[in-house]
Amino acid sequence: MARVITSAGNERLKLVRKLHERRWRDKLGLFVVEGEDLFEAGRAAGVAPVDVLVAGEDVEERLLADVSTLAHPARAVAVFRRADLPTGVREATLALWAVSDPGNVGTLVRAADALGPAGVALSPGCADPTGPKALRASAGAIFRVPLGCSEQAPRPWIGLVARGGRPLAELPLEGQLTFALGAERDGLPPEIERACDELATIPQADDAESLNVAMAGTIALYELSRRSASARER
């Protein structure tokens, strides 16, 4: 029978602590999920963990709580390999440029799962989708949604801009395509906006602030899925 971990200096616990930092995730190619729901989402997707620690079974509860990033520590944490996450190209892609908020990145991964099939592509400067906040926002979708590089996202590119684009509802959305989204405050970089094949705007009230980037990406995917469903019914 395996011994329960009783020392904070245990190597398995030290690894979990390291993986809360992006530099260690980048260096080791690993990431950690907290909570049984996320762990089960990985297992259901056929992604095998490198290690699993369960409070009271593998490690003392207080020690697992000490390495948690949650206000209410999870009963289980699991370590996975980034290389085991899905890759490839889907019919639709959300390409993100310098979207640095991890909650927005995770929410867009979740939207790609719910309203896809779609993938998510990220540029340098984006938040790490395998960081703690992004993982929680993805609600397990990280194990089902292919990730890639924004610059390699398939054409055509439809840039979502707050003002000045064609209304999204008027655009033909057929075949393989990419919705390009920029950071919350700055929007798409000018060179990426110029590289887009089309610019689209989601109409909103004249005095409203621009939509949150996660909301805009979700609306775009919903419009695409709505049309796809309508086409299948015809």
Strand partners, 178: 93, 157
Domain end: 44, 66, 84, which one?
84
Helices (H) and strands (E) in the chain, counts: 8, 10
Residues 53-75 have pLDDT tens digits of 999 999 999 999 999 999 888 89
Residues 151-179 have pLDDT tens digits of 999 999 999 998 889 999 999 998 899 99
Domain end: 59, 84, 109, which one?
84
What is the reported pLDDT for 184?
80
Residue 4 counted as domain residue: no
Cβ atoms of residues 129 and 106 within 8 Å: yes
Task: Provide the pairing of β-strand 30-34 with 76-81.
Answer: antiparallel
For residues 211 and 117, membership in a common domain is answered with: yes
For residues 79 and 112, membership in a common domain is answered with: no
For residues 111 and 183, membership in a common domain is answered with: yes
The DSSP string of the chain is -PPPB--TT-HHHHHHHHTTSHHHHHHHTEEEEESHHHHHHHHHTT---SEEEEBTTTB-HHHHHHT--SSS--SEEEEEEGGGS--S--SEEEEESS---HHHHHHHHHHHHHH-SEEEEE-TTSPPTTSHHHHHHHTTGGGTS-EEEGGGPPSPEEEE-SSSSEEGGGS---SSEEEEE-BTTTBS-HHHHHH-SEEEE----TTPPPPPHHHHHHHHHHHHHHHHHHHHH-
Strand partners, 55: 59
What is the reported pLDDT for 106?
98
For residues 210 and 112, membership in a common domain is answered with: yes
Retrieve residue 52's tokens. 């699993």
For residues 104 and 55, membership in a common domain is answered with: no
What is the reported pTM?
0.94
Q: Which residues of the chain have pLDDT under 70?
A: 1-2, 231, 233-234
Domain end: 31, 62, 84, which one?
84
What is the reported pLDDT for 71?
85
For residues 210 and 136, membership in a common domain is answered with: yes
For residues 52 and 137, membership in a common domain is answered with: no
What is the reported pLDDT for 234?
65
- Which domain CATH number covers 145? 3.40.1280.10
- Which domain CATH number covers 76? 3.30.1330.30
For residues 161 and 226, membership in a common domain is answered with: yes
What is the reported pLDDT for 2?
64
Task: Provide the pairing of β-strand 92-96 with 177-181.
Answer: parallel
For residues 77 and 100, membership in a common domain is answered with: no
State which amino acid sits at residue 57: E
For residues 122 and 208, membership in a common domain is answered with: yes
Task: Provide the pairing of β-strand 157-160 with 177-181.
Answer: parallel
List the domain range (segments joined by +) for residue 79.
11-84
What is the reported pLDDT for 185?
80
For residues 102 and 77, membership in a common domain is answered with: no
Based on the structure, what is the number of domains in the chain?
Answer: 2
Retrieve residue 189's tokens. 């970089």
